[in-house]
């Protein structure tokens, strides 16, 4: 199921990259994401775009933290609307400043709340795309993301660089949520390979999901 994809053609304009680099460097200074050159985080964020056939109209990012990949993809796709979901108040406040700094207030909203709660708002079944990077283990991520997706929408998740990724996404558990693992890909970027799991919404998630706050992580479906 693994397939290599080319991501080097996905480019930001020079001024866009410079502004994002400055912002993400500040976010790293606050401890909002891990070490490594900011340029690598940018490149790995762009890798998500290699898995979509076209820019989404409406997208959500779970656990946005320091803003990757959501801010990068919002800049790359000027016609897309984004909801950045971040339960930590300090990080959410920083994301609001970053959105304003990038001039994205008209199409990017930061929601400081738990993903389980957001999935029961007007965003339910409303997104073409949901992204997640370092959000939670697969079962938790799938349960929080699936109710946000419209039929035919996709969930893209950053995968760890090693291990048997197919074992992380149990088909039986995914079917309970109306999801199917479509592809696992190694995207070629300037920062090296980035592993992405792409899951398709083949049936709208039922009313049972997500379960109440905290349960998806305490008792994951898989």
Distance of CA 28 to the CA centre of its chain: 18
Residue 185 has pLDDT above 80, yes or no: yes
Joined tokens for residue 59? 């997208």
What CA–CA distance (Å, rounded) separates 109 from 21? 21
- Is residue 9 predicted with pLDDT exceeding 70? no
Q: Compute the distance between CA of residue 202 and CA of residue 222 in angstroms, rounded to an integer.
A: 19
d(CA 77, CA 58): 11
Query: What confidence score (pLDDT) does residue 163 get?
Result: 56
Residue 113 to residue 69: CA distance in whole angstroms:
19
| CATH number for the domain harbouring residue 166 | 3.40.50.150
The answer on pLDDT for 35 being more than 80 is no
* pLDDT > 70? residue 154: yes
Most confident of 32-41, 86-95, 160-169: 86-95
pLDDT at position 33: 82
pLDDT at position 5, please?
A: 59
* Average pLDDT, integer, range 151-180: 89
Distance (Å, rounded) from C-alpha 147 to C-alpha 208? Answer: 10
pLDDT surpassing 70 at residue 111: yes
Average pLDDT, stretch 137-160? 97
Are 218 and 143 within 8 A, CB to CB?
no
Which residues are within 8 A (CB) of 13 and not within 5 positions of it... i.e. 6 or more apart?
A: none
pLDDT of 79 above 50: yes
Total number of domains in the chain: 1
pLDDT at res. 165: 61
Pairs from 89-96 (Cβ < 8 Å, separation ≥ 24): 90/30, 91/32, 91/64, 91/65, 91/66, 94/27, 94/30, 94/32, 94/66, 95/64, 95/67, 95/71
Res. 96: pLDDT tops 90: yes
Q: How high is the pLDDT of residue 191?
A: 83
- Strands, E, within the chain: which ranges? 2-6, 58-62, 81-85, 108-111, 127-132, 149-158, 179-189, 192-201
Of the listed ranges 33-37, 84-88, 149-153, the least confidently predicted one is 33-37
Mean per-residue pLDDT of the chain:
93
Enclosing domain of residue 156? 2-218
At 7, is the pLDDT very low, low, confident or very high (cuts 50, 70, 90)? low
CB burial of 153-168 (b: ≥16 within 10 Å; e: otherwise) equals bbbbbbbeeeeebeeb
Region 39-55: what's the mean pLDDT?
Answer: 92
């Amino acid at each position: 199921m693994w397939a290599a994809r080319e991501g080097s053609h996905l480019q930001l304009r020079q001024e866009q990259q410079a502004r994002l680099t400055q912002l993400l460097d500040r976010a790293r200074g606050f401890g909002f994401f891990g070490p490594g050159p900011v340029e690598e985080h940018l490149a790995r964020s762009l890798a998500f775009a290699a898995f979509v056939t076209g820019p989404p109209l409406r997208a959500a990012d779970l656990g946005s933290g320091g803003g990757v990949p959501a801010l990068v993809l919002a800049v790359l796709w000027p016609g897309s609307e984004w909801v950045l979901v971040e339960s930590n108040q300090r990080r959410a406040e920083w994301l609001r400043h970053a959105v304003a700094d990038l001039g994205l207030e008209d199409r990017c909203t930061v929601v400081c709340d738990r993903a389980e709660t957001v999935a029961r708002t007007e965003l339910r079944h409303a997104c073409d795309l949901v992204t997640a990077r370092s959000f939670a283990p697969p079962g938790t991520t799938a349960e929080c993301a699936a109710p946000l997706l419209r039929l035919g929408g996709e969930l893209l998740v950053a995968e760890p660089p090693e291990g048997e990724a197919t074992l992380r996404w149990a088909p039986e558990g995914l079917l309970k949520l109306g999801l199917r693992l479509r592809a696992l890909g190694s995207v070629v970027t300037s920062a090296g390979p980035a592993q992405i799991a792409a899951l398709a919404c083949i049936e709208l998630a039922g009313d049972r999901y997500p379960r109440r706050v905290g349960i998806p992580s305490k008792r994951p479906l898989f």
